[in-house]
Amino acid sequence: MSGAPGMEPGDGKHAPVLLDAALDALRIRADGCYVDATFGRGGHAGAILGRLGEEGELIAFDRDPEASAAAATLFAGEPRARFIHARFSELGRHLAAGSVDGILFDLGVSSPQLDEARRGFSFLRDGPLDMRMDPQAGESAADFLARASEREIAMVIQRLGEDRHGRRIARAIVAARSIAPITTTGRLAGIIAAAVPGREPGRHPATRSFQALRIHVNDELGEIERALPQAVAALAPAGRLVVISFHSLEDRIVKRFLRNATREAPEWAGMPDVPTEARARLALVGRAVFADEAEVQRNPRARSAVLRAAERVAA
């Protein structure tokens, strides 16, 4: 892996996934301008900086204030890089149309977010039931579970956790909250474990529900839907869009978006003089890339990762 001196990835707590594949897909030019939409602990960002020359530029985004603190350290004294504390669905507000040569999205949560009990993401570590990537914005998981109807909770768990026990779990949550508010990850994990019949081997019974609540609380799918068109608009001709997804709900959105953006609008198919706005905006670059055995061994988080890339076609 490349990296400028003092630019080692992250703080050692988040191993960047599919790093070489992401750098290759971005096809970094030393004097280009690149965006890391999901800074995390800067694993990918540090490696991108390592490939930039003096004229190059890196703009990093993350909605997590702790990522912001990590960026302040990684980018200290680094004139080529800046960090913007924002959701990536706000990319378009910060990036001029056609101004960047590559944008990377490494979706989901970082290892430090999962590992810190106080962030409330993990059913393995007892902590406040929060799950917000930006704890200053929006509704925590505890607040959602306190106010949502049983039906709403069941739908979230079924749709975003793909858990067939969603209704049963929602019923148990509503019964438990009538005794006392559910404010800790430990209590929620216990309620779910008691509600779910049988055990899936190798998987905690709360895995799917915690995933669902996390995706819901952070509106993760809505964020991706809103961000991708803005990312394409920000790309210069031949600029690259690279997305690493970690579960099928994310990847489905990315695949559908790429499918549509790589075709001309169906109503113009086969017609002459297709107007610019109806033409294909992207061309696919290669096939989907998955982590190899060695990477999965080193970093089990890479097991479910899939990288897709596309290139902006000239308007």
Chain residues binding ligand SAM by CB under 6 A are 10, 14, 16, 38, 40-44, 61-64, 67, 87-89, 106, 108-110, 133, 223
Query: What distance in Å separates the CA atoms of residue 131 and residue 143, rounded to the nearest whole number?
Result: 11
Query: What distance in Å separates the CA atoms of residue 138 and residue 119, rounded to the nearest whole number?
Result: 14
The nearer residue to ligand SAM, 81 or 169, going by C-beta atoms, is: 81
The nearer residue to ligand SAM, 3 or 190, going by C-beta atoms, is: 3
Contacts of 192 (CB under 8 A, 6+ apart): 123, 169, 172, 173, 205, 206, 209
Query: What distance in Å separates the CA atoms of residue 24 and residue 289, rounded to the nearest whole number?
Result: 11
The nearer residue to ligand SAM, 154 or 217, going by C-beta atoms, is: 217
CB of 64 to ligand SAM, least distance (A): 4
CB of 117 to ligand SAM, least distance (A): 17
Q: In this structure, are residues 105 and 242 in contact, taking their beta carbons and an 8 Å threshold?
A: yes
The nearer residue to ligand SAM, 40 or 239, going by C-beta atoms, is: 40
The nearer residue to ligand SAM, 148 or 227, going by C-beta atoms, is: 227
CB of 162 to ligand SAM, least distance (A): 20
Name beta bridge partners: 243.
105, 308
CB of 258 to ligand SAM, least distance (A): 19
Q: In this structure, are residues 148 and 170 in contact, taking their beta carbons and an 8 Å threshold?
A: no
Query: What distance in Å separates the CA atoms of residue 189 and residue 278, rounded to the nearest whole number?
Result: 49
SS3 of residue 57 by DSSP: strand
Q: In this structure, are residues 56 and 37 in contact, taking their beta carbons and an 8 Å threshold?
A: no
CB of 249 to ligand SAM, least distance (A): 14
CB of 63 to ligand SAM, least distance (A): 4
CB of 36 to ligand SAM, least distance (A): 7
Neighbours of 47 (CB within 10 A): 24
The nearer residue to ligand SAM, 113 or 169, going by C-beta atoms, is: 113
Ramachandran quadrant class, 262 (left: phi over 0; alpha: psi -120 to 50; beta: rest): alpha
The nearer residue to ligand SAM, 67 or 254, going by C-beta atoms, is: 67
